[in-house]
Amino acid sequence: MTQLEFDQKHLWHPYTNVTQPGPTFLVKEAEGLYLTLDDGTRLIDAMSSWWCMMHGHRNPSITQAIHDQLDRLPHVMFGGLTHDPAIDLGRKLLEIAPSDLTRIFYCDSGSVSVEVAMKMAVQYQHAMGFEGRSQFATVRSGYHGDTWKAMSVCDPDTGMHHLFQGALSVQHFVSRPPVTIDQEWTDDPARNGLGGLRSVLEASADKIAGFILEPVVQGTGGMYFYHPEYLNQARALCDELGILLIFDEIATGFGRTGELFATDFCTVQPDIICLGKGLTGGHISFACTMTNDRVATGVGGGNPGIFMHGPTYMANPLACAAAKASLDLLTGQDWRGTVARIADQMRAELAPARDLPNVRDVRVLGAIGVIEMNHRVSADQAHALAPEMGVFLRPFGRNIYCMPPFITGPDALSQITAGMLRLAQEL
Ligand SMILES: *Cc1c(COP(=O)(O)O)cnc(C)c1O
């Protein structure tokens, strides 16, 4: 059996039919922008391996940090013990994250950081004497991960809630924020989404612990960019009703949107934030949940007082070292200029897609470029064209999109946008 035959017969891939998997490439190594396949073909990773690999593959300072840490302390339990990588990363996060968020919980993946955030909100409400507040409100078209509680706040249609009916917690959904980031804000609550939000939150305020959403950019749920004023006003509404505000910045964190965090588009801050994906520059799975003093001391003052979560690999030193190196790299460069340059070029080069027959919309925010089609697009067909284009893209739903690594130069970026235009023509 060849390697690929074994893979096809025995390995499950993300969201695939195990008996009929689509075209799958065998990646032998990767460096910078490029994946090298077993036959020597090189493909640009235009997805940054799902929003992670922002400095490119095998970045020398990140791999060096991991090597150095590997020689000293690859892992140790975090119960009763601590270590420099966890502390140094914590200092760095406090330096760059929204200023209210001073308490850090390290965990293994984005979905888990969402679970942690939701548990924190419930424990906080409990500690405040609101035992009935254990549900959540969210906006439609969101995506928060694949574990049970995270899945319960994903879009009920694309998240296939009917499939898991009875197994998922019932949550409260409002329409996605209707004013886009490019449109002029309106204060009319019937048109800006806040009217609908208020009525849902008011109706169930005694049951709702938190309002969770992806700030400004909805990723997997539709690659949709909405107006940050929605979040400013949602903050006021949450405060009025005693509901915690949770921002899932797993996809948007670390410069991707043109701001260091999407929260930075707002004049307000959330009570809890989830970070993941780009945290280690894509080198190791890692995530964290950060909260403010109010929630942390609230949880601590309740009964049992302890926060009920503690993964085996919590604050893994290799992951902390990788994250610290990745964040140092990011803040040590003109990331804002880099992302703006990528955005400008994508805007210019994707614009012609507007004239194609089946294209509904073209939009760019920071280093995220999207061609939205009128119909669903096949990832398998896109993969089949990858070797010819020299670009790996994985469309989802109606969207052909890219989030290139920040090291992508003008020529490589042109190759990516040409690939996207080609997919928009042929798929
Ligand atoms: C990817 C993602 C998650 C889930 O993260 P995993 O590391 O895949 O568990 C959660 N929320 C958002 C916004 C994401 O983009």
The tens digit of pLDDT for each residue in 5-58 reads 999 999 999 999 988 888 899 999 999 999 999 999 999 999 999 999 999 999
Please say whether the beta carbons of 427 and 378 come within 8 A.
Answer: yes
User: What type of residue is 295?
Assistant: V
Atom nearest to 111 CA in ligand 1:
9
Q: Is 280 in the pocket of ligand 1 (CB under 6 A)?
A: no
Domain of 364, CATH number, reads: 3.90.1150.10
Let me know if residue 226 belongs to a domain.
Answer: yes
Both 154 and 192 in a single domain? yes
Both 274 and 260 in a single domain? yes
Helix (H, G, I), strand (E, B) or coil at 91: helix
Ordered alpha helix ranges (H), 312-427: 317-331, 335-350, 379-389, 410-426
User: What type of residue is 221?
Assistant: G
- The confidence score (pLDDT) of residue 214 equals 98
Q: Is 215 in the pocket of ligand 1 (CB under 6 A)?
A: no
Among the three residues 296, 314, 332, which one is the final residue of a domain in this structure? 332
Let me know if residue 177 belongs to a domain.
Answer: yes
Both 321 and 371 in a single domain? no
Both 252 and 366 in a single domain? no
Which pair of structure tokens corresponds to residue 165? 């009916």
Q: Which residue has the tokens 């996605």?
A: 176
Let me know if residue 30 belongs to a domain.
Answer: no
- First vs last C-alpha separation in the chain: 33
Helix axes 317-331, 60-72, angle to 10 degrees: 150
Q: Is 144 in the pocket of ligand 1 (CB under 6 A)?
A: yes
Distance 308 CA to ligand 1 centre (A): 22
Domain count, the chain: 2
> Domain limits at 376?
335-401+419-426
Which run of H or of E encompasses 289?
strand 287-292
Q: Which residue has the tokens 């694309």?
A: 158
Q: Is 221 in the pocket of ligand 1 (CB under 6 A)?
A: no
- Measured over the CA atoms of residue 300, residue 305, residue 309 and residue 310, the dihedral's sign is positive
Query: Of 368, 365, 426, which Cα lies nearest the Cα of 401?
Result: 368
Domain of 178, CATH number, reads: 3.40.640.10
14: preceding bond cis by omega (within 30 degrees): no
Label residue 196 by pLDDT band (50, 70, 90): very high
> What one-character-per-residue DSSP string does 186-251 give?
---TTTSSHHHHHHHHHHTTTTEEEEEE-SSEE-TTT-EEB-THHHHHHHHHHHHHT-EEEEE-TT
Catalytic residue list: 15, 143, 248, 277
- Cα–Cα distance for residue pair 63/302, rounded to 1 Å: 42
- Measured over the CA atoms of residue 14, residue 16, residue 22 and residue 26, the dihedral's sign is positive
Q: Which residue has the tokens 């090597």?
A: 67
Let me know if residue 5 belongs to a domain.
Answer: no
Let me know if residue 145 belongs to a domain.
Answer: yes
Q: Phi/psi of residue 292, each to 5°?
A: -90, 175
- The confidence score (pLDDT) of residue 21 equals 84
* pLDDT average, residue stretch 98-114: 98
Percent of the chain with pLDDT over 90: 95
Atom nearest to 277 CA in ligand 1:
7
Both 341 and 265 in a single domain? no
Write the pLDDT tens digit of every residue in 232-243. Answer: 999 999 999 999
- The confidence score (pLDDT) of residue 165 equals 86
Query: Of 205, 208, 198, which Cα lies nearest the Cα of 236?
Result: 198
Helix (H, G, I), strand (E, B) or coil at 340: helix
Atom nearest to 285 CA in ligand 1:
7
Let me know if residue 24 belongs to a domain.
Answer: no
Q: Decide if pLDDT at 365 tops 90.
A: yes
- The confidence score (pLDDT) of residue 158 equals 87
Choosing from 47, 136, 144 the residue with most ligand 1 atoms within 8 A of its CB, the one to mutate for a pocket test is: 144
Q: Which residue has the tokens 């969201």?
A: 15
Neighbours of 163 (CB within 10 A): 8
Both 181 and 78 in a single domain? yes
* pLDDT average, residue stretch 192-209: 98
- Cα–Cα distance for residue pair 337/383, rounded to 1 Å: 31
Label residue 166 by pLDDT band (50, 70, 90): confident
Q: Decide if pLDDT at 269 tops 90.
A: yes
Q: Phi/psi of residue 189, each to 5°?
A: -60, -20
Please say whether the beta carbons of 312 and 330 come within 8 A.
Answer: no
Q: Is 159 in the pocket of ligand 1 (CB under 6 A)?
A: no
- Cα–Cα distance for residue pair 267/286, rounded to 1 Å: 28
Q: Is 412 in the pocket of ligand 1 (CB under 6 A)?
A: no
Let me know if residue 189 belongs to a domain.
Answer: yes
Choosing from 138, 143, 226 the residue with most ligand 1 atoms within 8 A of its CB, the one to mutate for a pocket test is: 143
- The confidence score (pLDDT) of residue 20 equals 87
Q: Is 253 in the pocket of ligand 1 (CB under 6 A)?
A: no
Both 325 and 341 in a single domain? no
What are the residues facing 235 on neighbouring strands?
none
Both 153 and 91 in a single domain? yes
Both 355 and 257 in a single domain? no
Residues 6 or more apart in contact with residue 90 via CB below 8 angstroms: 104
- The confidence score (pLDDT) of residue 161 equals 87
Please say whether the beta carbons of 427 and 381 come within 8 A.
Answer: yes
* pLDDT average, residue stretch 237-261: 98
Both 116 and 242 in a single domain? yes
Query: What does the mean pLDDT of the chain come to?
Result: 97
- Cα–Cα distance for residue pair 230/105, rounded to 1 Å: 27
Write the pLDDT tens digit of every residue in 281-334. Answer: 999 999 999 999 999 999 999 889 999 999 999 999 999 999 999 999 999 999
- Cα–Cα distance for residue pair 406/62, rounded to 1 Å: 15
* pLDDT average, residue stretch 373-391: 96
Among the three residues 332, 366, 383, which one is the final residue of a domain in this structure? 332
pTM: 0.98
Both 283 and 203 in a single domain? yes
Choosing from 152, 250, 273, 283 the residue with most ligand 1 atoms within 8 A of its CB, the one to mutate for a pocket test is: 250
Let me know if residue 394 belongs to a domain.
Answer: yes
Write the pLDDT tens digit of every residue in 57-81. Answer: 999 999 999 999 999 999 999 999 9
Both 208 and 101 in a single domain? yes
Residues 6 or more apart in contact with residue 195 via CB below 8 angstroms: 189
* pLDDT average, residue stretch 101-122: 98
Distance 144 CA to ligand 1 centre (A): 5
Among the three residues 313, 332, 351, which one is the final residue of a domain in this structure? 332
Four-CA torsion 380, 368, 399, 58, nearest 10 degrees: 10
